[in-house]
Amino acid sequence: MKKQMSKLVVSALSACMAIGLCACGSTTSNTDTSDTKTETTDTAKDTSSEETATVAEDTGKTLNIEVWNEEFKSRITDHYPGYEKTDDTHGKIGDVTVNWIITPSDDNAYQNNLDSVLPGNADASEDKKVDIFLVEADYAQKYVSKDADVAMTMKDLGITDSDLSKQYSYTQDIVKDADGNMRASSWQACSAGLIYNRDAAKEVLGSDDPETVQQAVKDWDTYEETAKKMKAAGYKMSSTVNDTYRVYSNNVSKPWVDGTKVQIDDNMKAWVDNSKKEVDAGETGTAELWGDDWAKGFYPQGKVFCYFGPAWFFNFSMKADDSTSIAANGGWGFCVGPQSFYWGGTWICAAKGTDNPNLVKDIILKMTTDDSIMKEIAEKDSDCVNNKNVLKELAGSDDGNLAILGGQNPYQQLADGAEKVDMSNTSIYDQGCNEEFQSAMKNYFDGNASYDDALAQFNKAIVEKYPELTTE
């Protein structure tokens, strides 16, 4: 076990160097899809020159899928052709039993489970092998690096660049190894924006039109001026300082770690300074994300002007199934906000050692490249899917109008945002650094510590979590 865990840690460090080579902006198989004729011609040309790997025969009678929640299971249940549900944790695809292994992410339990089962997966007994596992952006490189060697490359599955040509560049870059091989694929392109309360906008700004609201939040200085107006009218600008965190952290000019040294980007210091002003002025709070206090603004009586989030936020987070919520009554609008950013995303990995490689390949192709299935996902689940053609179609059609947004169509903004995502400053330490930084700064925002004391708390927590790092 100790040897297996060390292998993952070493792979993660190798990935830290690799991701700089995989920054957003790569031109491989990600040309602009505005000219369908040109794209079709190029794709045909690519297909003729690509070699397709020979995939071993499927021998497994059980497809084991490691997940941390119900999201991917619901996507498969609702959209994968031929899937039959048998109970809450099992299904059937043909004569193969699908076994959903759900380990919540709390206290890092999901990653700890992967660290336990993946390195020895090839030697696991028949039908006990992991076939598919999922990863998130914050820790994807830990599992898709070449040295970790726990995820198959898309090429080894027989999936070509042409198959993946309609995806957004950043969604591929984040799961490439040091050799530039993709080791996962996503159905989501999680560009995000500012989600605003339409009634508050009409009351305070005189209009709930997205262009009008965008002018009122076009940069952080203007955002702050609007926050003062909202405060005067009885609204908080945002529910918590953590609502704006990812907007700042996605727009840094350097990664959290340089070599082994932790560094605080100027944009993170700006988040601290601006958040402190807003908390002290009563324009926002310090509640934890996902808690009851944070969610009060999903209802009219919560008196919150805006949240920041991607498309999955609409249905997954904003209480759309509660008839008394703002979302259920079409009361939210969407605009870009002060800065473009992204949040989240789920990538499907084929586990090294799977005994169902062809079925895994088919699931990845259908769920992350099939136009009709991805359009279904967008329409049913309000997801911003990882397919340029589908988003273009939705942006130009009433099919993209969302009831949660009062009939507004957000897909052109989401598509534009996905093109702007820059992964060049990502590091393997992002999850830990982001969590510990927010936790430490809460003491400062609440008036229980000075900034220097909060920073010292952060530094102490980081070197405890990552002993190989330094903060001086």
What sign does the CA torsion over 378, 384, 385, 388 have?
positive
Q: Read off the pLDDT of each residue in 127-152 and give the average, rounded to a whole number.
A: 94
pLDDT 10s digits, 362-413: 999 999 999 999 999 999 988 899 999 999 999 999 999 999 999 999 999 9
Residues 386/168, Cβ–Cβ less than 8 Å: yes
Q: What is the pLDDT of residue 53?
A: 79
Residue 425 has pLDDT above 90, yes or no: no
Q: Which DSSP string corresponds to 262-329?
A: E---HHHHHHHHHHHHHHHTTSS--PPTTSHHHHGGGSGGG-EEEEEEEHHHHHHHS-TTSTTSTGGG
Residue 350 has pLDDT above 60, yes or no: yes
User: What element of type H or E holds 334?
Assistant: strand 332-335
At 19, is the pLDDT very low, low, confident or very high (cuts 50, 70, 90)?
Answer: very low
Q: Give the three-class secondary structure for 121.
A: helix
Q: What is the pLDDT of residue 16?
A: 41
For 306, phi and psi rounded to 5 degrees? -150, 155
Residue 445 has pLDDT above 50, yes or no: yes
Q: Read off the pLDDT of each residue in 287-313 and give the average, rounded to a whole number.
A: 96
Domains of the chain: 2-189+344-392 (3.40.190.10), 192-342+429-465 (3.40.190.10)
At 444, is the pLDDT very low, low, confident or very high (cuts 50, 70, 90)?
Answer: very high
Residue 446 has pLDDT above 60, yes or no: yes
At 316, is the pLDDT very low, low, confident or very high (cuts 50, 70, 90)?
Answer: confident
Q: Which DSSP string corresponds to 36-94?
A: HHHHHHHHHHHHHHPPPPPPPPP--SEEEEEESSSHHHHHHHHHSTTEEEEETTEEEET
Q: Percentage of the chain surpassing pLDDT 90?
A: 83
Q: What is the pLDDT of residue 50?
A: 61
pLDDT 10s digits, 327-340: 999 999 999 999 99
Residues 311/336, Cβ–Cβ less than 8 Å: no
Q: What is the pLDDT of residue 28?
A: 34
At 26, is the pLDDT very low, low, confident or very high (cuts 50, 70, 90)?
Answer: very low
Token pair in block for residue 238: 């945002």
One-letter amino acid for residue 113 of the chain: N
Q: Read off the pLDDT of each residue in 147-172 and give the average, rounded to a whole number.
A: 96
> What mean pLDDT, rounded, does the chain reach?
89
What sign does the CA torsion over 373, 376, 381, 383 have?
positive
Q: What is the pLDDT of residue 12?
A: 43
Q: Read off the pLDDT of each residue in 164-192 and give the average, rounded to a whole number.
A: 95
One-letter amino acid for residue 458 of the chain: F
At 23, is the pLDDT very low, low, confident or very high (cuts 50, 70, 90)?
Answer: very low
Token pair in block for residue 208: 């709930």
Residue 27 has pLDDT above 80, yes or no: no
Q: What is the pLDDT of residue 11?
A: 42
Q: Any idea which of 105-109, 207-211, 440-444 has the lowest mean pLDDT? A: 105-109
Q: Rounded to whole angstroms, how far apart are CA atoms 278 and 201?
A: 19
Q: What is the pLDDT of residue 54?
A: 85
Please, where are the H alpha helices in 105-197? 109-117, 140-144, 169-173
Q: What is the pLDDT of residue 3?
A: 34
The DSSP bridge pattern shows strands 130-136 and 304-310 to be: unpaired
Q: Any idea which of 42-46, 192-196, 364-368 has the lowest mean pLDDT? A: 42-46
Q: Rounded to whole angstroms, how far apart are CA atoms 270 and 276?
A: 10
Q: What is the pLDDT of residue 248?
A: 97
